[in-house]
């Protein structure tokens, strides 16, 4: 028995209990306390994982992808540890082990599925040895916290190369910023991607992060775009191009909160149905499926697990209020926000819309990114959009942005009181409500919404709220 580890675990568990007692989530504090007592706590506990540690990183989709992987491995009968609450800094990763550890310093775990913040990857990879690393996508996100994308990808690339050759990368083939990691790290790779669909376009007006080849600097050409810089690309300068994917989704049909598609993998194909919205959730599912395929999980079991999946907090989580649906969505960058607006437009019926925009440290102090979101698309559809309620510390800013996007000012309302704003959007005489929230507003919005409406049932036992 390592007495320092035991002391750290005991202190972390007490911190968790006290945090929950005060109504907090306790998703990071146990790890912070444990690491203060013994800095090697994470390394000591992670070394006990019997089979493999899977790390999930990238800009968008980390939490959903991690939850999907956890669900697949749990359905396969494995004992797993995961930071399902979405606390993805080193303290949150450590806390996930603390909660599962005995006071003697032992854990009983086959797999660990760990969501890791992009900037935290070097720290976490020094403390544990993953067998698989999933990279979902890279978009400009909170520049005052995460730097430019070249620096973010460079930091992750260096940390992966320093971690040895025992890692398999699971990469999004459709994002050139992600696909480049095959060549730049020399590590084995499993690619996943999406073939052309009805939503694919030959030209794009959205903000794109990768307009130039990451190797030679020549402009990238595209056969089509899915969203952002995701699509089928090629470089006429050096030949860098979208690689063939081991797992590929085709013929996606996304409507009324359901995704249907065909999955093609290892010269096989299967039908996939999920109770989610958006192409981005299909990407998350493909990443989880690719991980399961790599780990040898049976295909029918994975398909059934994904079919049962339900969105967790802020990931188009669904509530029911007086016979109507309300959807809660986390937004944090232009690309993610644009996809959220696409969902808002694509679903049939009249809608009321709520925005909670904060500019705290975790949100990023610089909210100029709101002006890169394509709110102008709402101008043509505003007859189905009854009201836009704006709240949060920068509620006036989002209201101004909507005005400049062409939304009639008589439809824009600012509420300083977030509770009143949420009550108002739920009571609007529309078929459904959409609520968009930045990071630090998400948990307060969820608590208020949860007190007023009924949350749709969880995905699986053990999956808790994600922040």
Residue 439, number of CB atoms within 10 A of its CB = 19
User: Does 175 qualify as catalytic in the annotation?
Assistant: no
Closest-CA residue to 166 (of 193, 146, 187): 187
213 in a known ligand binding site: yes
Distance CA 49, CA 107 (A): 8
Percent helix, strand, coil in the chain, to 5, is 40, 25, 35
Is 109 annotated in some ligand binding site? no
Report d(CA 272, CA 270) in Å as an integer. Answer: 6
Query: Phi/psi of residue 350, each to 5°?
Result: -85, 145
Cα separation, 96 vs 90, whole angstroms = 10
Does 216 appear as a known binding residue?
A: yes
DSSP per-residue letters across 175-210: -HHHHTHHHHH---EEEEEE---TT-BSS--S--S-
**First and final CA of the chain: distance in angstroms?**
34
**Residue 252 Cα distances to 89, 242, 280, angstroms:** 34, 19, 12
Whole-angstrom distance, CA of residue 410 vs CA of residue 75: 50
Q: What contacts 24+ positions apart, CB below 8 Å, involve 323-327?
A: 324/430, 324/431, 324/432, 324/433, 325/257, 325/431, 325/432, 325/433, 326/425, 326/426, 326/432, 326/433, 326/434, 326/435, 326/449, 326/453, 327/277, 327/432, 327/433, 327/434, 327/435
Distances 155 to 43, 118, 123, 159, 170 between C-alpha atoms, Å: 21, 9, 11, 6, 18
Residue 390 among known ligand-binding residues? no
The single residue of 144, 223, 366, 381 carrying the catalytic annotation is 366
Tokens of 250: 């085709």
Taking the CA atoms of the chain, what radius of gyration do you get in angstroms?
A: 22
Binding annotation for Zn(2+): 213, 216, 235, 238
- Binding-site members are 213, 216, 235, 238
Which residues are catalytic, by number? 366
């Amino acid at each position: 028995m390592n007495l320092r580890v035991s002391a750290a675990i005991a202190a972390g568990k007490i911190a968790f209990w006290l945090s929950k007692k005060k109504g907090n989530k306790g998703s990071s504090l146990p790890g912070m306390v444990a690491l203060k007592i013994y800095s090697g706590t994470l390394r000591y506990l992670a070394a006990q994982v019997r089979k493999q540690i899977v790390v999930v990183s990238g800009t968008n989709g980390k939490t959903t992808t991690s939850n999907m992987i956890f669900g697949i491995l749990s359905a396969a009968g494995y004992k797993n540890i995961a930071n399902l609450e979405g606390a993805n800094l080193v303290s949150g990763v450590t806390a996930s082990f603390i909660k599962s550890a005995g006071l003697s310093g032992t854990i009983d775990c086959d797999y660990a599925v760990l969501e890791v913040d992009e900037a935290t990857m070097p720290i976490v990879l020094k403390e544990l040895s993953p067998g698989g690393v999933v990279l979902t996508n890279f978009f400009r996100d909170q520049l005052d916290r995460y730097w430019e994308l070249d620096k973010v990808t460079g930091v992750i690339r260096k940390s992966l190369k320093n971690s040895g050759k025992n890692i398999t990368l699971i990469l999004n083939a459709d994002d050139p910023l992600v696909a480049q990691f095959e060549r730049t790290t020399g590590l084995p790779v499993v690619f996943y991607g999406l073939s052309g669909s009805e939503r694919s376009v030959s030209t794009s007006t959205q903000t794109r992060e990768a307009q130039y080849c990451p190797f030679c600097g020549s402009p990238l050409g595209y056969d089509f775009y899915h969203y952002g810089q995701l699509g089928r690309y090629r470089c006429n300068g050096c030949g860098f191009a979208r690689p063939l994917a081991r797992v590929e989704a085709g013929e996606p049909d996304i409507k009324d909160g359901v995704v249907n598609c065909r999955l093609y993998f290892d010269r096989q194909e299967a039908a996939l149905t999920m109770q989610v919205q958006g192409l981005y959730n299909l990407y998350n599912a493909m990443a989880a499926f690719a991980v399961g395929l790599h780990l040898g999980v049976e295909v029918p079991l994975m398909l059934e697990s994904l079919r049962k999946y339900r969105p967790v907090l802020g990931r188009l989580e669904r509530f029911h209020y007086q016979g109507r649906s309300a959807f809660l969505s986390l937004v944090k960058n232009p690309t993610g926000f644009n996809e959220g607006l696409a969902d808002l437009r694509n679903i049939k019926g009249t809608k009321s819309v709520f925005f909670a925009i904060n500019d705290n440290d975790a949100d990023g102090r610089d909210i100029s990114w709101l002006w890169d979101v394509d709110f102008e698309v709402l101008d043509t559809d505003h007859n189905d959009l009854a009201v836009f309620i704006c709240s949060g510390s920068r509620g006036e800013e989002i209201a101004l942005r909507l005005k400049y996007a062409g939304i009639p000012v008589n439809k824009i309302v600012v509420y300083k009181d977030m509770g009143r704003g949420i009550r108002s959007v739920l009571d609007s005489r529309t078929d459904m409500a959409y609520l968009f929230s930045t990071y630090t507003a998400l948990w307060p919005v969820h608590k208020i919404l949860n007190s007023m409406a009924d949350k749709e049932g969880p995905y699986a036992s053990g999956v808790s709220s994600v922040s």
